[in-house]
Structure 1
Amino acid sequence: MESHWRSIFKSLSWRVLATMITFSVALFLIGEVDKAASIGVADTVIKFAIYYYHERLWTKIDFGRFSRAGSEHV
């Protein structure tokens, strides 16, 4: 199982990368920095929250997990 802090930091690191991608695509399509930044911020806030809860849900699912010894499924 992962700690809440680990899930938060994983979410943050992914969101930084994903925000840069969203901003870049929006800037390319729209050509306005302020609008691209607004899209990037909105995307980040919404998807950060969704990703965090998605990660926490998966900590409750045993599918694909192995025991500490690594030889048997949980």
Structure 2
Amino acid sequence: MILDQPIKKWFVDTTGQDSNFKSFVKSVSWRTVGTIDTIVISYFVTGQITMALSIGSVEVVSKILLYYLHERAWEKMTKVKVKA
């Protein structure tokens, strides 16, 4: 685990909060899973792989952005306020 600490700096800022980069990586990984699910469901509903891929490609972009914004809002809302 030599790389553990340097890599951890990419995902947590100096205050211990999740970084923007971590939220972005989580958004992309979750959307990959979600898009595969959407494509599979779309294929079962339509029976057309072209249509399923079209539906999946449209939703992937919009949902990455929406999830990123959702994740950042949660990070701000759950931040512990420290009284000085």
Q: Into which bin does the TM-score normalised by the smaller protein fall?
A: 0.7 to 0.9
Q: Which residue of 1 aligns with 2:26?
A: 10
Query: 1:41-73: per-residue Cα shift (whole Å, max 9, x none)?
Result: 11111111000000011111127x6xxxxxxxx
TM-score where L is the length of structure 1: 0.80
Once superposed, which parts of structure 1, at least 4 consecutive aligned residues long, lie more than 3 Å away? none
CA distance in 2 between counterparts of 1:17 and 1:2 reads 21
TM-score where L is the length of structure 2: 0.71
Structure 2 unaligned spans of 5+: 1-16
Higher helix share: 2
Over aligned residue pairs, what C-alpha RMSD do you find? 1.7
SS of the equivalent of 1:25 reads helix
| Bigger RCO (CA 8 Å, 6+ sep) | 1
| Count of residues in correspondence between the two structures | 65
Amino acid at match of 2:73: L
